[in-house]
A = this chain, B = another copy of it.
Amino acid sequence: MKKMRIGIIGAGRIGKIHADNLLRIPEVEIIAVSDLFAGPELDAWAAARNIPLVTKDSSILIQHAEIDAIFICSSTDTHVPLIEQAAKAGKHIFCEKPISMDIAQTEAAIAEVQKAGVKLQIGFNRRFDHNFKRVQEVVQNGGIGEPHIIKITSRDPNPPHIDYVKVSGGIFMDMMIHDFDMARYVSGSEVEEVYAIGNVLINPDFAQHGDVDTAVVSLRFANGALGVIDNSRQAVYGYDQRVEVFGSKGSVAVANDHPNTAVISTADAIVSDKPLHFFLERYQTAYIEETQMFIDAILNDKPVPVSGEDGVQAERIALAAKLSARLGRPVKVSEALELLNQNA
């Protein structure tokens, strides 16, 4: 059996997670990894995994004749050029979210992918979480009838370093973009209009970079449903990732995952352990499944589970939310791009 050969661009935390998950798939081998900060440490990491080629130059991977697919795990500002180069080189592409913070550029990159006829999957890992998949399945199977209200809570255990905040694109583009994709995924409908409010309640440094650390966004869907997403950069009790879809025949709601089911009863209270700490713990198996489905889509020529269009649509909603917060009024997703240009 000839194995599928992968190159990974960007060997940070998420790149390494994808690598280890890919190595568990018998049909796959990783033959190269590139990173701007490649050095002895990365060499050792690659050697332990029998990855023969380590380089600082991503173009070596993209032009590598043996490589079938590229994982783009480098910083967001590199995604668009790398997608375009990889597509032109005929490589299938897995790209982390968001594709970019510039919708026009994102659209151009997707057009390039379509022209090349390669597959492009976006790293919305939460779609592969056991809980959210069950929500989507119940809704899709009609288990709750027509969706009326979608509620998504997403709170991180710790805020990112302020250096990251500067370049993050802001809470809507960096963090809530996952929830905008989730809203589309579980509702089976498009978000048409958003209204965003935010505030700086955790760390005043967010304000200095024009960002907020706490946000609530209300949503109107094409199918008539209403929704709301709330985000916080700091839930001291750990990663809080919940979804509820309420409809004409009932509701489906998922709670957080916990490291164990232990309930400790004492003279003071009834106590249990906090949720799984953060995305690495919570989405461990989701990351495994998203890479497996990407490989499966290529090997068996099936549609990828999260398309480039899914990526750009989440960006459009994020942009609308960002503008809504800035303008203090509801913004239609369809008008966001034009509105941005008017306000630029």
Report A's interface with B, CB cutoff 8 A.
24, 26, 48, 130-131, 133-135, 138, 143-144, 146, 148-149, 151, 153, 155, 195, 197-199, 201-202, 214-218, 220, 224-228, 230, 232, 234-238, 240, 246, 248-275, 328-330
Q: Check B201–A225 contact: CB distance below 8 A.
A: yes
Q: Check A255–B264 contact: CB distance below 8 A.
A: no
Q: Beyond the given A198-B226, A217-B218, please list 5 additional residue pairs across the A-B interface where CB-CB is below 8 A.
A: A143-B264, A146-B201, A215-B226, A235-B265, A237-B265
Name the contact of A246 in the complex, choosing from B197, B224, B235, B268 (C-beta under 8 A): B235
Q: Check B226–A259 contact: CB distance below 8 A.
A: no
Which residues of chain B are within 8 angstroms of A260 by Cβ–Cβ distance?
130-131, 133-134, 254
Q: Check B226–A228 contact: CB distance below 8 A.
A: no
A254, B273: Cα distance in complex, Å: 12
Name which residue of chain B comes closest to A137, CB basis.
B262
Which residues of chain B are within 8 angstroms of A216 by Cβ–Cβ distance?
149, 218, 226-228
Which residues of chain B are within 8 angstroms of A135 by Cβ–Cβ distance?
262
Q: Check B270–A274 contact: CB distance below 8 A.
A: yes
Which residues of chain B are within 8 angstroms of A266 by Cβ–Cβ distance?
143-144, 236-237, 249-250
Return A321 CB to nearest CB of chain B, in Å: 12
Which residues of chain B are within 8 angstroms of A261 by Cβ–Cβ distance?
131, 254-257
Q: Check A226–B214 contact: CB distance below 8 A.
A: yes
Name which residue of chain B comes closest to A198, CB basis.
B226
A198, B225: Cα distance in complex, Å: 9
**Given A226-B230, A237-B270, residue A252 in contact with residue B263 (CB < 8 A):** yes
**Given A134-B273, A237-B266, A274-B265, residue A149 in contact with residue B329 (CB < 8 A):** no
Q: Check B225–A197 contact: CB distance below 8 A.
A: no
Which residues of chain B are within 8 angstroms of A197 by Cβ–Cβ distance?
195, 218, 220, 226, 330
Q: Check A270–B273 contact: CB distance below 8 A.
A: yes
Which residues of chain B are within 8 angstroms of A267 by Cβ–Cβ distance?
236-237, 249-250
Name which residue of chain B comes closest to A256, CB basis.
B261
Which residues of chain B are within 8 angstroms of A263 by Cβ–Cβ distance?
252-255
Name the contact of A330 in the complex, choosing from B24, B268, B270, B328 (C-beta under 8 A): B328
Name which residue of chain B comes closest to A193, CB basis.
B197
Return A296 CB to nearest CB of chain B, in Å: 18
Q: Check A228–B225 contact: CB distance below 8 A.
A: no
Which residues of chain B are within 8 angstroms of A199 by Cβ–Cβ distance?
148, 220, 224-226
A290, B130: Cα distance in complex, Å: 25
Q: Check A149–B214 contact: CB distance below 8 A.
A: yes
Q: Check B198–A195 contact: CB distance below 8 A.
A: no
**Given A149-B230, A260-B131, residue A248 in contact with residue B202 (CB < 8 A):** yes
**Given A149-B216, A215-B226, residue A252 in contact with residue B264 (CB < 8 A):** yes
**Could you say which of A26, A134, A262, A329 has the most chain B C-beta atoms within 10 Å of its C-beta?**
A262
A275, B149: Cα distance in complex, Å: 19
A130, B276: Cα distance in complex, Å: 13
Q: Check B273–A269 contact: CB distance below 8 A.
A: yes
A254, B265: Cα distance in complex, Å: 12
Name which residue of chain B comes closest to A272, CB basis.
B270
Return A335 CB to nearest CB of chain B, in Å: 13
